[in-house]
Amino acid sequence: MDIVRLATTSALVGLIVAGGVSSCGFGSGTAGLDDARPTTVDVYAASSLTDVYSEIEQRFEDANPDIDIRLNLAGSSTLARQINDGAPADVFAPADLSILDQLEPNIIQASVTPPEPYAKNRLVLVVPAGNPQSIEQLIRLEQSDILTAKCISGVPCGDATDRGLASAGIELGLVTEETNVRSVLAKVVAGEVDAGFVYQTDAKVAAEVNVVEGFDSPAVQLVAIDLNASRPPDSARSSSVESKEASARFVSYIGSEQAETILTSAGFEQP
Amino acid sequence: MSSSIRAVPRSVVAVGIVGVTVLAVPLAAIIFEAPWAEVGSHLGSAETKSAIRVSMIVSFSAAALSVLLGVPLAFILARSNIRGKALLRTVITVPLVLPPVVTGVALLAGFGRRSVLGQLLGFGLSNSMTGAILAATIVAMPFLVLSVEGSLHSIDPDYERVAAAFGAPPLARWWRIGLPLSRSAILAGAVLAWARALGEFGATITFAGNIAGVSRTLPLEIAVALESDPGRATAVSLLMLGVSLVVLVTLRDRWIRR
Amino acid sequence: MTTSGLSVDLKTTVNDFVLACEFEVPVGASLAVVGPNGSGKSTLLSALAGLVDVDRGRVVISGHVVVDSTKDLVVAPEKRSVAIVPQKSLLFPHMTVAENVAFGLRYRPVEDAESAISNVLKDVGLDRFRDRKPGQLSGGQQQRASLARALVVQPNLLLADEPLSNVDADSRHSLRSVMDQWRPPTQTQVIVTHGHHHAQAADLLVGLEAGRVAAFGEPRQLANDTKLDWLRDLLRASD
């Protein structure tokens, strides 16, 4: 009998703890009774989009004061894992189209098919300012004393680098693999590596690196998919009409001319 | 049995059960969800073997360095009356509370290519196995120092005084009396430091990079595999869980006694 | 004129307890230190061995000045020709009995150390226990080993803090003669004791009260002269 009462108490405490966590962890995406409160849209964007999405968020919110964009920035495949685990993402903007394959079929199936890329990006080879190792050609990277940083295989920037290197027939002599493209950039900027593969948009932001011409990488296709649109009304996170409408408005803004201007000036190419 | 449970209020026990559940559920889940059929082949893969090799070299070197450099510090903290002991203890404890990635950044500043030392030498210690060992040592040594220092307080300093009265000079007193008497404390501290070094991630990837066969330790291998081969990530995680359990069992008696 | 074996004039403070005393013992003599608990007997031994700091004063052991505060001189404990039998034995727990006894000889070598160790162990009755660790010995056996460790060094100054307190009454007598047997003619002995045997048999006696010398002299004389009741009782006691 003691055990039963203990179990009941434990379950209650557990519920209280869990409930407390969930209620402060994830805010509601729907506007409540208070009409003044803006509708929140949770946007899960790749870390390579940090700067450009911050700007888009600001412009969009200026134009749509009734909507609050909440950015969650991380590596694309990390975000995909979070979404598969039930994270309340309204919009998913990975660094490459290919990441969508990592989403559970039931999450992706009802979404817009096929997603239309709104921009593309490219990998470039960068070296620390002044190019201390005088790396002019890709073939230098095969030397075992030249340390190159790239993204881990399996994330968009890593896969695109792998494909570019394979088609150029280059095998890196000494390589350190970073979990995301910003770490690669940071190590090149710090001069801790001799070269690194980053997006051309990253190379544009960092003044302390030089781009080495001659690396022809396949482009990554940027897509933004509206997960909110396909979410059934009776799902755990019930979406109101306002919420769905807000998510749709943001996704269409990504494809708009205003967003295109921001993207182009950041170095993204037209799809 | 029930009388011993009532020694603690029922509500406190209930919170305790929730606590242990929070701790145990993820561990149980990784065991249940592991692709057991493939674990063997994953652990036998060239990538995993290379990471095991790197991890063994790095963690044992870091533990050895921690003992070599940390034991004297533990004695200073426990036995001497030098001024600035509080400051010394703070310096030693900082890596314990610092996020490892910050330790990594600090290491870059101190020993990286662009650091004063790096420019003086013409090379940095970053992106090398030496760097991985250094990073692991810095995060592991505080565990050894604090654990050994704690045990030293329970060893009667009068033994060393008696040795002095019998003619043993300071170094001999330390070597023949102080050190042997703290042998088991040092051993326990070394195991603790080794385990911490084995699990080191943030400082290693920041300072020593993630170079296969050089600085890609088991935790880094898990991070790599997570993106491309989740099954292997789980298999390597299981390996590390197993190692942790072995360490805990080794230290169990000690922790129960305290 | 007798040479001084031990000349003491010191003041020391340990945890707010002040010990201040002055006396002199001729070379080769034995001094019994008696007094109530907390009178400073153990502190005196520690100060002579150099294990506690001395506030001021002058200590001379067999002609060697080991403390002279006017010259800022303090000789480190390991450089004084002393050996100590601590109250709580304090055998090194990780060494065997034989290794414990050999400890001091490494720093103060004697001729044929091996047989000296065997002999002293035989004399204190521990020859069968030479390879045991202290943890495997009884309290009395530990005290014998601790005594052997000090005797074998044959120091100029032997400091013993109730060396026979844990030994059964029958063995005390024989161990006292072992102490005499291992005593070179130039050895001065300072023995803290609660027992009347050591107190009455010593050449000189110092009675401490609250960190001061309350009585000093030959035990036989003090037995008649002293105004201290506890000391008179001690010196007139018999089995």
C50: chain B residues, CB-CB within 8 Å: 164-165
A154: chain B residues, CB-CB within 8 Å: 224, 226-229
Q: How far apart are CA A115 and CA A222, in angstroms?
A: 10
The minimum CA-CA distance between B224 and chain A, rounded to whole Å, is 6
| Domain extent at residue B214 | 41-257
On the question of pLDDT at A182 being above 90, the answer is: no
Question: Does B125 fall in a domain?
Answer: yes
A29-119+222-265 and A123-218 share one fold:
yes
Write out pLDDT tens, residues B87-113: 999 999 899 889 999 999 999 999 998
C77: chain B residues, CB-CB within 8 Å: 161, 164-165
Return the pLDDT at B168: 94
Return the pLDDT at A22: 42
Asked if residue C160 lies in contact with residue C151, where contact means CB atoms within 8 angstroms, the answer is no
On the question of pLDDT at C11 being above 70, the answer is: yes
Task: Answer whether the bond into residue A88 is a cis peptide, omega within 30°.
Answer: no
Q: Give SS3 for C112.
A: coil
Interface B:A, ≥3 CB–CB pairs < 8 Å: yes
Percent of chain B whose pLDDT exceeds 70: 95
Question: Does B14 fall in a domain?
Answer: no
On the question of pLDDT at A239 being above 80, the answer is: no
Substitution target in C74, C80, C103 with the highest count of B β-carbons within 10 Å is C103
> Domain extents for chain A?
29-119+222-265, 123-218
On the question of pLDDT at A50 being above 80, the answer is: yes
Domain A123-218 bears CATH identifier 1.10.10.10: no
Alpha helices in A174-266 (DSSP H): 181-189, 200-205, 227-230, 241-254, 257-266
> Strand ranges (DSSP E) for C17-171?
17-26, 30-34, 56-61, 64-68, 73-74, 82-85, 157-161
Return the pLDDT at A235: 53
A190: chain B residues, CB-CB within 8 Å: 108, 112, 114
Q: How does residue A116 score in pLDDT terms, banded at 50, 70 and 90?
A: confident
B167: chain C residues, CB-CB within 8 Å: 78-79, 104, 106-108, 153
In this prediction the pTM is 0.78
Substitution target in B227, B229, B232, B234 with the highest count of A β-carbons within 10 Å is B227
Whether chain B has a CB inside 8 Å of the CB on A46: the answer is no
Local structure of residue A35 (DSSP, 8 states): T
Write out pLDDT tens, residues C101-149: 999 999 988 888 899 999 999 999 999 999 999 999 999 999 999 999 9
On the question of pLDDT at C168 being above 60, the answer is: yes
One DSSP character per residue, C49-68 reads: HT-S--SEEEEEETTEEEEE
Q: How does residue C84 score in pLDDT terms, banded at 50, 70 and 90?
A: very high
Packing angle, helices A257-266 and A50-63, rounded to 10: 150
A251, burial (CB in 10 Å: exposed 0-12, middle 13-18, buried 19+): buried
Q: How far apart are CA A144 and CA B212, in angstroms?
A: 13
Asked if residue A172 lies in contact with residue A144, where contact means CB atoms within 8 angstroms, the answer is no
Cβ-Cβ pairs closer than 8 A, A with B, add up to 78
The total number of structural domains that make up chain B:
1
B13: chain A residues, CB-CB within 8 Å: 6
Asked if residue B186 lies in contact with residue B71, where contact means CB atoms within 8 angstroms, the answer is yes
Return the pLDDT at B196: 92
Query: Subunits that touch chain C (at least 3 Cβ pairs < 8 angstroms)?
Result: B
Q: Which residue of B has its CA nearest to C92?
A: B159
Whether chain B has a CB inside 8 Å of the CB on C229: the answer is no
Return the pLDDT at A35: 54
Tokens of A81: 């894992």
Residues in chain C: 239
Write out pLDDT tens, residues A133-169: 899 989 999 999 999 999 999 889 999 999 999 999 9
Domain A29-119+222-265 bears CATH identifier 3.40.190.10: yes
Question: Does B142 fall in a domain?
Answer: yes
Among the partner-chain residues A174, A177, A193, the one whose CB lies closest to the CB of B224 is A177
Among the partner-chain residues C83, C88, C92, the one whose CB lies closest to the CB of B165 is C83
Asked if residue B71 lies in contact with residue B144, where contact means CB atoms within 8 angstroms, the answer is yes
Q: How far apart are CA B86 and CA C2, in angstroms?
A: 53
On the question of pLDDT at C236 being above 60, the answer is: yes
Bigger pLDDT: A67 vs B253: A67
Q: How far apart are CA B219 and CA A220, in angstroms?
A: 29
Question: Does B203 fall in a domain?
Answer: yes
Write out pLDDT tens, residues C206-233: 999 999 999 999 999 898 888 898 998 8
Bigger pLDDT: A6 vs B208: B208
Per the CB < 8 Å rule, is B223 touching A10?
A: no
Q: Any idea what the CATH number is for the domain that residue B167 is in? A: 1.10.3720.10
Q: Which residue of B has its CA nearest to A146?
A: B127
**pLDDT mean across residues, chain B:** 89
Determine the average pLDDT of the residues in B182-205.
Answer: 92
Q: State the DSSP H helix or E strand holding residue B189, giving kind and residue range, or none if neither.
A: helix B183-199
Per the CB < 8 Å rule, is C84 touching B158?
A: no
Question: Does B36 fall in a domain?
Answer: no
Question: Does B30 fall in a domain?
Answer: no
Per the CB < 8 Å rule, is C159 touching B165?
A: yes
Query: Subunits that touch chain A (at least 3 Cβ pairs < 8 angstroms)?
Result: B
